[in-house]
Structure formats: C-alpha cells, structure tokens
Amino acid sequence: MKNLSNQEWKELTEKDDNKVILDVRTDEEVAEGIIPGAQQLDLYQPQEFMNGIQEMDASKNYYVYCRAGSRSVQACQIMKQAGLDNLYNLTGGYSNWDGDTVIPE
C-alpha cells in the first residue's frame, strides 16, 4: 500500500486506465459527496466488504479512501491479505480532499 497526497492521487488517477476508486465510508457519509467515479464498499459492513473484495480483479489498481484516512488503511490491509497488491490510500481521506466531488444519485 502506498499513501498518496491529494496531488499524487489526482496525478495517478488521471492517467491510470486500470484504476478502481473505492470509497469505504458508510451510506450516510457517502450521501455528503464522493470523489467522481468512486464505488462504495462500506468497511463497517464486514460480510458485504469481504464479499466485494473476493470479486475484485487483482490486476487492477485500487485507490481507497474513507473520511479521515484510517479506515482506508485498514481496508487496504484486508485487501492485501486477500491477494490484492496495487493499493493506494488517500492520506487524510475525504475530509482533507480538495479535488472534485459529486453527490451520488
């Protein structure tokens, strides 16, 4: 897992055609806004989270974020144990994000 600043995250995701952006926050947090293109997989729903990572493609690059950066570190550790290696964590999480956001539909 590599920790990325906002700037590093923007630069890498902009040019990465093999990316999956993963939001591990709760439904209530996601309702406040997400990083464009993100898929939600709530870490606080353990069975759903584990089922979701079992279906992930190990050849993809996973950019993971939460509200403040600690849940996403935990999510990356679980994902690594499941055999996923290309993991990037957004330092400071969504609350520190200064890029584009959208309200999910």
Domains belonging to the chain, first-starting first, are 2-96 (3.40.250.10)
Q: What's the whole-model pTM score?
A: 0.96
pLDDT at 51: 97
Phi, psi (rounded to 5 degrees) for 39: -110, 140
pLDDT at 105: 80
- In SS3 terms, the chain reads as CEEECHHHHHHHHHHCCCEEEEECCCHHHHCCCECCCCEECCCCCHHHHHHHHHCCCCCCEEEEECCCCHHHHHHHHHHHHCCCCCEEEECCCHHHCCCCCECCC
76 has catalytic annotation: no
pLDDT digits (tens, 9 = 90+) for 18-64: 999 999 999 999 999 999 999 999 999 999 999 999 999 999 999 99
Instruction: Check 22, 66, 76, 87 and give the catalytic one.
Output: 66
